[in-house]
Amino acid sequence: MKTISSKDNPAYRDALRLLRKKYRDQTGMFLLEGPRPVMDAVKAGNPPAAVFVRESDKDSPQLDGLIETDTVILADGLFDRLSDTENSQGVIAVARKPKPGDGIRKTAGGRRAVILDRLQDPGNIGTIIRTAEAAGFGTLIAIKGTGDIYSPKTVRAGAGSLLRVEVFEGMSAADAISICREQGVRIVASDLQGSAEYTEADMTGDIAIVIGNEGSGISDEIREAADTLVRIPMEGDIESLNAAAAAGILMYEALRQRRAAGKAE
């Protein structure tokens, strides 16, 4: 195995650049940190282009199966510059951004997507991606103005689901609406002024749930195009729910309704 101890090593410099969005966009690559996400990439048919292991962790049992002859050992100081976590598990990989298909992926029971309308918080975005997979939503559409899907914080919060949920980045609201219309997918948008509580709305079948910006909510363009505007009731002196919490509530209500409809059939 090769060991890198110089910050001027070309492979190390290329990986370090991926901490910046500019280079992630240019190269179509991003960083994955931790044994489980790296193994998830391999299982998803997206083997890493490079794997870096912190020198002091090279004999760690949790890295069994990850350290191969082409794995690069990084001096601790270099690895820590590349890491985005305080308590790293000692492995970082350079991975390729998965390429999305032609539209909203069809999973068991239909086409389901979650649309992020200019969300900014990486923790919210990553949590929504992870929840989408768990609730049976196979596609995520990030409308232009949404935070970087492949930032280290978002990737970490997504916990590997980013490699299994189909992701469209930087799409215009008009194009997102058009894809839904072309594929017969109803748009259900979360809105404080929604005409129906979320449990009253039909969320079976092919749907796209829209979650708006943390401060301003959904755009007027999305609001006008939505087939249904739903609200989540709140008590106490709360103005709005966390975006990831709202997304989870709506996606799992859709899952509940699908299962209820299946049992009824």
Would you state the pLDDT for residue 178?
Answer: 97
Number of H helices, E strands in the chain: 9, 13
How many other C-beta atoms are found inside a 10 Å radius of the C-beta of residue 57? 18
Would you state the pLDDT for residue 265?
Answer: 43
Pick among 3.30.1330.30, 3.40.1360.10, 3.40.50.1390, 3.40.50.1820: CATH of 2-96 = 3.30.1330.30
pTM: predicted TM-score of the whole model, two decimal places: 0.92
Listed by start position, the domains of the chain span 2-96, 106-264
Q: Does CATH place domain 106-264 in 3.40.1280.10?
A: yes
pLDDT tens per residue, range 120-173: 999 999 999 999 999 999 999 999 999 999 999 999 999 889 999 999 999 999
Would you state the pLDDT for residue 83?
Answer: 94
State CA 238 to chain mean position distance: 27
| The residue count for the chain | 265
Would you state the pLDDT for residue 264?
Answer: 47
- The helix or strand, by DSSP H or E, that contains position 68, with its residue range, turns out to be none
Would you state the pLDDT for residue 263?
Answer: 55
Cα separation of 187 and 250, whole Å? 12
- Tell me the H-state helices in 44-193: 76-82, 122-134, 152-158, 173-182
Low-confidence ranges of the chain (pLDDT < 50): 264-265
Q: Name residues whose C-beta falls within 8 Å of residue 181's C-beta, 6 or more positions apart in sequence.
A: none
Q: Which tokens go with 35?
A: 């044994």
Torsion sign (Cα): 155, 158, 160, 165? negative
